[in-house]
Amino acid sequence: MSMTRQAEPAVGTPPAPGPGQRDGRTAERPLVLRMLARPEVGVFLGAVAVLVFFLVAAPAVRQGSSMATVLYQSSTIGIMALPVALLMIGGEFDLSSGVAVVSSALTASMLSYQLTLNIWMGVIVALVVSLAIGAFNGWMVVRTGLPSFLVTLGTFLILQGVNLAVTKMVTGNVATDDISTMDGFDQAKAIFASSFDVGGVQVKITVVWWLVFAALATWVLLRTKYGNWIFAVGGNKDSARAVGVPVNLTKITLFMAVGFGAWFVGMHQLFSFNTVQSGEGVGQELIYIAAAVIGGCLLTGGYGSAIGPVFGAFMFGMVNQGIVYAGWNPDWFKAFLGVMLLGAVLINLWVQRTATRR
Amino acid sequence: MTSDTTGTHGAVLQDTTPDENGPIVELRGAGKSYGNIRALHGVDLTVFPSRVTCVLGDNGAGKSTLIKIISGLHQHTEGDFLVDGQPVRFGTPREALDKGIATVYQDLATVPLMPVWRNFFLGSEMTKGPWPVRRLDIARMKQTADRELRNMGIVLDDLEQPIGTLSGGQRQCVAIARAVYFGARVLILDEPTAALGVKQSGVVLKYIAAARDRGLGVIFITHNPHHAYMVGDHFSVLRLGTLELSAERSAITLEELTNHMAGGAELAALKHELAQVRGVDVEELPEADELTAPVAQPSPEGTS
């Protein structure tokens, strides 16, 4: 006994300081700087700038109906940009998201038309197929450890080929047959592709869905366990796993969320145009990713917000329609977008550097 | 251990608390092979509450493999691994955590861009509300994180700051405080002082002592015998995947420990060769017969 007393380790317990004590090393940063450090503030300012620019340059934008069109355009990008942004925060990409939209619409359309089922059967099967595509992407990524860029590039090419080949095989055409006379069409259209009246202006229902999904995504991201895990798996996968976060589950469900978004947008396209062109959707995935990046999400994961991509998608819709309303040659659209993307990324970078500097 | 533990492991711990005298974690002849490479072989290790067990060894000695087995990242391929006297085999770190074995890794297992309080509760978040609207209890988490950090002597102004903005020592201490709070009974520290300066190392050693005084069994992995000797109760030196030395504090001096750690026997053999080379000072190196520290492990009852 005395042996151990004698050989007692040299270091004792530190004194516990009372509450209320501060270490005094961090000065309170000004509110403006703290605001700027939020991921969505840069893109918010950018969206306001683009809006003001077109309000001045294109008088036609000032009408309510034009604004409704801009919002509609934004919503179709924005609904997909949300899950794509969450996935990006979780540290992965999905290049197949653009064609997955078309795959979903094709599935619903052809299944119900060829088997003369109620349209809802097609819609539900399409949801299952979309979620399965997402789950496959996620499973491949976590299982193989390959970069999601490669895995989803593969899925992208597969889906692109399957979309065309199967549609031609089934319908003998590159587009599906018109489904507008089938059972359940009107109900489904009411949910996915109707309009409603706000003070004499027709607003598409996708705008409402867009904002509902954005609110939901924000809540999940900032206020739930799952949201915490999204940041963690994107920020440092190994650390997250070591403290008990189910990394694989989180990533797979994020890919499935993209699948859900693809299904929703696919259904919207199907019920607003009645037919689906099987070759569409290529290139859209980059638009979604760009909207997420403009929205302040870090390409490498671990940082971002759900509200940022809302403004990112709005910038896209605004520029897209603004060019038309301003009477300019729409050929310039993509060039304008490219400049906007680079500008937004640089502004984000600058804002973050300035605001997080201590 | 904290009496006011409200984390997710609190309930589990009540059930698994063993009799006070036995070891919490025990390895008997444990080993691990990766294919045909034997990284660890025949290692005995016991961890008792309120005691610091130091595992020393040079790079590649098998220290990392050892903690990976205990923390549930890898599984042992030979020997026995017992927790509270029951043989176990962990599939995931989560299972080890549920048994009260928490590991503070070299990279600290923190997510740099996330705020301190989110990191503190990562993987074991507090929630409130019924399922569809179950949400993080942010106020309670911040309050608890602040209180726990202060109890460990860490004062931070702003728990919202990304943990990446803290210094290495501070991050280490947050990670230790987190493990202590979540009801860890065994705390594994993987080279906590390796990347730190002298003063910060001292701070971390203090928290190791604080954790020990709270009744935790600590496994302190290091390759610095001086740091080990300041807090350790038992010392195990690994070399080339096997146990070279296992000694109670009372049975070994810092000098002997240092010699073993530095591969003393090898150095002694090298001494004669080096003596032929001009400019190499061999006076301070030990002779082989000076290294007489006990290799057999004394029974723990005899010293506690």
Q: Do A224 and B136 touch (CB under 8 A)?
A: yes
Q: Is A224 on the interface with B (CB under 8 A)?
A: yes
Residue A355 banded pLDDT, cuts 50, 70, 90? low
Q: Which of A239, A305, A356 to mutate to test the interface with B (most CBs of B within 10 A)?
A: A239
Check residue A357 and give its pLDDT. 55
User: How far apart, in whole angstroms, are the C-alpha atoms of residue B259 and residue B66?
Assistant: 22
Record: contact A223-B138, CB cut-off 8 A: yes
Mention every residue, 6+ apart, whose C-beta is less than 8 A from residue B65: B32, B39, B40, B74, B241
Shortest alpha-carbon distance between residue B273 and chain A (Å): 37
Cα–Cα distance measured from residue B93 to residue B103, given in angstroms and rounded to the nearest whole number: 9
Compute the nearest-CA separation of A5 from chain B (Å): 9
Does residue B297 lie within any of the structural domains? no
Q: Give dist(CA A153, CA A146) in Å, integer.
A: 12
Name the more confident of B268 and A315. Answer: A315
Indicate whether A106 pLDDT > 90: yes
For B269-301, the three-class secondary structure string (H helix, E strand, C coil) is: HHHHHHHCCCCCCCCCCCCHHHCCCCCCCCCHH
Chain B, nearest residue to A224 by Cα = B135
Domain of residue B149, CATH code: 3.40.50.300
First to last CA, chain B: 19
- Show the domains of chain A with their CATH numbers: 40-357 (1.10.3470)
> Based on the structure, what is the number of domains in chain B?
1
In a domain, residue B209? The reply is yes
**Which residues, 6+ apart, have CB-to-CB distance to A137 below 8 Å?**
A94, A96, A148, A151, A152, A155, A255, A258, A259
CB contact under 8 A, B303 and A245: no
C-alpha distance from A29 to closest chain B C-alpha (Å): 11
pLDDT in tens, A171-196: 888 888 888 888 888 989 999 999 99
The more confidently predicted of residues A39 and A174 is A174
In a domain, B162, yes or no: yes
- Give the tens place of pLDDT for each residue, B71-83: 888 888 888 899 9
Closest residue to B157, CB basis, from A19, A26, A240: A26
Judged by DSSP in three states, B31 sits in strand
- Which pLDDT tens digit goes with each residue over B175-206? 888 887 887 888 888 888 877 777 778 878 88
A87 min Cα distance to partner chain B (Å):
17
| A235/B113 Cβ within 8 A | yes
Convert B188-226 to b/e letters by CB count within 10 Å (16 or more is b): bbbbbbeebeeebbebbbbbbbbbbebebbbbbbbbbbe
Could you tell me which of B297, B286, B158 has the C-alpha nearest to residue B234?
Answer: B297
Q: What angle do CA B134, B135, B138 make, to 5 degrees?
A: 150
Query: Residue B16 has what pLDDT?
Result: 42
Phi then psi for A181, rounded to 5 degrees? -100, 5
Question: From CA B282, how far away is CA B273, in angstroms rounded?
Answer: 10
Question: Identity (one letter) of the amino acid at A152?
Answer: T
ipTM of the assembly? 0.78
The interaxial angle of helices B168-181 and B138-151, nearest 10 deg, is: 110
* A interface test, pick of B111, B207, B233 with most A CB neighbours within 10 Å: B111
Separation of alpha carbons B127 and A59, rounded Å: 50
User: Both tokens of residue B154?
Assistant: 């860490």
Phi (first) and psi of residue B208, to 5 degrees: -65, -45
Instruction: Supply the range of the domain harboring residue B183.
Output: 8-262
pTM: 0.78
What percentage of chain A exceeds 70 in pLDDT?
A: 87
d(CA B10, CA B13): 5
